[in-house]
Each structure stands twice: as structure tokens, then as C-alpha cells.
Amino acid sequence: MTAKTRPARPHPLNTYIERLQAGGALLPDSPDNVAEVVGILKSYGIVLDAYAVNLKYIGDHQFLVIFPFFKYFNGEVNPAKLFKHWWHDRINYEYAEYCMRGMMWHGGGGLEPYLDSDEFKQMAEVAIATRFKRNPLFKGMGSIFKDFWPEQVRQLCYTTALGQFWTVMSKIFLELSDRFDAGEIKTIPDVVQHILDGLVADAALPITYAPLINGKRYEIIPESAGITFLIDTGVPYVEAIFFRGTPFQGTVTYNAQEDQIPIDQSAFCYGALYADPVPIGGSGIPPTLLMQDMRHYIPDYFTDLYRRQGRDQTGLRVNLCQSFQKSMYCVTTAAILGLAPHPITSQDPAEKEANTAYLKGWMDRFIKSRLSNVQGMQLPQK
């Protein structure tokens, strides 16, 4: 048999391609997996709602506040909240800002080019001038460092955009939990379909930004800019947070001579789908904050599942990260299905070929991921 006639070797992750084309998901279907995914997403939905409220508050009411000491208080500063804050008996909003900065750094979608447009620059200049019209020091600082204030406004745009995105995702996850409690969600494909339906339903939802400055709103991202929920925030979020991420300090060196971090951002693989859960149980690793927040809201059946599986409660944050990764593979499955060129279960030869090529592109990115760890099997290597 010649090289020209030799059949093409199957993709090393061809099992998952076949599973998706058969109507399955990246995560195997089992009653325990369903309960684990829904349980962690219920907790995540509650936490996301809190994150979203705060991000939108910061964008709306903390516009270019130079020393935002109370930005995590959502406008309610009192002794009780101060003591809870100092005692760290609170939601860790720092994690939300970590995600926002990662999303801003990696860019993508329509938001990034809009924030480089002349339209944005003109609107930002008006808002900045209004904010500092009685502050000659900061106004003069903007004249010397011309990109400083516009860059802060760009960050605030990502802040509110992520808050609006998470508002929708929180609703999707909490409705999933309600449907599970009502007996409507019974399989992993049910979970994926619910998430996919939610993404599609709000795909065209406009992302806008008009902060309150001196009692008046100033448009910075108008609806006419055409920034929408799915393509301009959802897809860049998956790319930045699920796949690329940022290397956790203390786990790899930032020394360029050591060459431990890729030079090309597109080669980053530090996102949620790649992260080792063990370091996430320790301090100094940003997702530890998320696990700490979610542990307060896990449902009873989720705790019972852990107990039945013999999971050590002393390593709860590590266990929660493992469950969170399972749930994120379900969310990723929904994103893959939603962006496919044709219905993923199509048997039309041309459509199936196009879908297979599309899925191979995704599988290339899963080679080094922790997909095998949520399967209970080893990933084949190239």
C-alpha cells in the first residue's frame, strides 16, 4: 500500500469525536456525574451571581475612583460588613477581577477591536473629562500620560462586560439546578442541552456600558456598537479562562531564561481545563478563592455523594476543583456544539466530514488537558 492510498490515521482523541457525533458529551454519562456536575454548578451559579453584581457595581459606580477602598461593598458600607471583610468572612471578589484581567489580556471577540476604535476613544474622552473636570491634578496627569486613563476605562469595560456575561450564566446554572430538583435533568446530555439552549437564547443579548458620573450616565459601549453576549463575551471568556489562562505564580518561573512559559499567548494552556487541582487547594493560587466561595453553597446531595465516594473532606477545595473541571467540560461541550458548522449528529457525508474536521481542531487542544482525569482513563498521546 503506497503512502497516497494509506488510510489517514485516526485522531488520538477520536473516541471523543465519535462520542460527540453520537449525541454524547466530553464527560461520560452516569448518575453520579450528573449529581456532581449539577451540584457544583448550583454552588457556582450562586457565587457567579455575587461576582456579577459586584463587577457591574464597580463599572457603574466606581468609574475612575482612584482609591476604591470600598469597591467590594456594593455601596453598603457598615461596621458589620467591614468586620466580615477584614475577617475574610465574605465572597472573594478578587477572583472575579482576576478573570476579568485574564479576559482583557487575551482579548478576542468584537469587544477588543471596539475598544481600539475612534468611537470608543471619543466617548471615553468625554467620560474622563467629566469625571475629572473639578480635579486639575488628575486632569493634568491625563495630558502627560495620554493612555493612562483610557486604559483604565478599557478595564472597566471588561469589568462590566464580564459582569453582564456572568449574570446570564448564573441564571442558566441555577435554572439547571431547579430542573434537576424537579426531575427534568437526568443525564449529562440533558445538562449540556440545557446549557446550550441558554447560550443560544441569549446569544444576541447586547452588552452595553454607560457608567454613572456626577449623577448622569455617559455611554461608552452603546448598543449600536453591536457587542453581544455569546460571540463577543462568551467565546473570548472560554478561550481566556477555560483554555489559555495565566500561569500561577509559584508553580512556574517567570524567568524568561528558564523558558517555562510560552512566548506566544496562543500556546498558553493554564486555563480551567488544564489546571492541576492539587495546587488549587493551596494559598496564592487564584482559583482557591473560587473553591473557598463555592464550598459555602454546595447542596446536601452533593456532600452525600462525596461521602459515599469516600472523598476526604479535609481536601475539600481539591475535590471541588475536580468537580468544577467536570462541569466545565460540560459547558465546553455546549460551546463546541453551539459553534459547530452543522448539527453535530448529522449523518450527511459532507456535513459529517466538516464536523469531524471542526472537532479535530478542538481535540488538538485537549491533548494536554485533564480530560483523561475526568474520564478515569488515560489520554492517548500523539
* Three cell numbers written together for 9: 490515521
> Which residues are registered as beta bridge partners of 228?
206
Confidence of residue 334 (pLDDT cuts 50, 70, 90): very high
Instruction: Tell me the average pLDDT across 58-68.
Output: 93
At 311-320, the pLDDT tens digits run: 766 678 888 9
pLDDT at position 380 over 50: no
Least confident of 2-6, 109-113, 179-183, 354-358: 2-6
Q: In terms of Cα–Cα distance, which of 20, 19, 9 is closest to 381?
A: 9
* pLDDT score recorded for residue 305: 87
Q: Are 22 and 189 in contact (CB under 8 A)?
A: no
* pLDDT score recorded for residue 137: 87
pTM for the structure as a whole? 0.92
* Three cell numbers written together for 310: 469516600
How much of the chain exceeds pLDDT 90, in percent? 66
What is the distance of C-alpha 352 from the center of its chain?
29
In whole numbers, what is the pLDDT of the chain averaged over residues? 90
* pLDDT score recorded for residue 113: 95
Instruction: Tell me the average pLDDT across 360-367.
Output: 92
pLDDT at position 381 over 60: no
- If one compares 192 and 135, the residue with the highest pLDDT of the two is 192
CA-to-CA distance for 230 and 339, rounded, in angstroms?
A: 10
* pLDDT score recorded for residue 106: 94
pLDDT at position 9 over 80: no
How many helices (H) and strands (E) the chain has is answered by 15, 2
Least confident of 10-14, 223-227, 267-271, 320-324: 10-14
Q: DSSP code of 35? A: H
Per DSSP bridges, beta strands 216-217 and 212-213 are antiparallel
* pLDDT score recorded for residue 142: 79
Confidence of residue 89 (pLDDT cuts 50, 70, 90): confident
pLDDT at position 47 over 90: yes
Q: Are 220 and 153 in contact (CB under 8 A)?
A: yes
